Amino acid sequence: MSYSPSSSVVAARKVFAARLQELRRNAGLTGAELSERCGWHKSKTSRLQAGLAAPSESDIRSWCAACGAEDEAEALIASARAVDAMYVDWRRMERSGLRQAQESVYDLYQRTRTFRVYASRVVPGMVQTRAYTTAVLSAVQRSRVSVDDVSAAVDARMERQRMLFSGSQTFALLIEESVLHSSVCDTETMRAQLRHLISVSGLARMSIGVLPLQRDRLRSPAEDFYMFDDLQTSVELVSGHLRLTQPHEIAMYARVFTQLSRMAVYGTKARALIATVLESMG
């Protein structure tokens, strides 16, 4: 993509900051005058207007009161919460362990009818084996989570899988071939995972495309992302989780998914490629 996914959050903050500026100007106040009315330093007003700092709910109420626009406060607070919800760093999401993070998306998965997933690092969670999930979540827990509830988190993901495959949802998964060679687990666990991929690729509501390792690709790999119908795209970053709901952002990821899907192999070709990797493991 031509932009960093975090730029979506930056843009949303800029839009919110512009709304604060608009209120101040409509009230005929300078930045210094508004700062005096709010009882804080003018540098704080400058940071809020530039989108360089996130206002608290009390800040928003003070700003609106200073501008004689108290009736705008609740709507602005709701907007600020929406911006804040766009990006959640892993420490905040996983502070009480990994199980809660798994269970937090149950409702979203249950509502979704069509899933589109692009994976460049690990096999998508919805088609992972229990042993593979255990290896992935154990690595996550060791690297960034103080609470060790891996077993409970694995149970939660397996429960989510049963929910998905007992419904009428459709799945379109794109997996980079490099993922098939990934060493996130021991060889036997990876062999079992590849056999599982071959098995589920034949399901009626499942489309698995593999993007072969090759030179001169039309586009480079992207960050891992999950598309839930046309309502939300979740992007997994090194630092955290990005939740996109704006139509133009979702449309951009949909275009990227289409571009990548044209480079993938499917059906018997995909299964043959997976089998070749499996055989190379001895």
Pairing of strands 170-176, 232-236: unpaired
94-280 and 7-86 share a CATH fold? no
User: Residue 3 has what pLDDT?
Assistant: 40
pTM, 2 dp:
0.77
Superfamily of domain 7-86: lambda repressor-like DNA-binding domains (1.10.260.40)
**How is the chain split into domains, by residue range?**
7-86, 94-280
What is the distance in angstroms between the CA of the first residue and the CA of the last residue of the chain? Answer: 38
CATH number of 94-280: 3.30.870.10
CA 28 to chain centre: 41
User: Residue 51 has what pLDDT?
Assistant: 86
Average pLDDT, the chain: 90
Which DSSP symbol is given to 54? P
pLDDT in tens, 210-251: 999 886 776 677 789 999 999 999 988 877 778 888 788 889
Are 165 and 172 in contact by the 8 Å Cβ rule? The answer is: no
Helices 267-280 and 187-200 pack at an angle, to 10 degrees, of: 170
Are 281 and 190 in contact by the 8 Å Cβ rule? The answer is: yes
pLDDT in tens, 83-106: 777 777 777 778 889 999 899 899
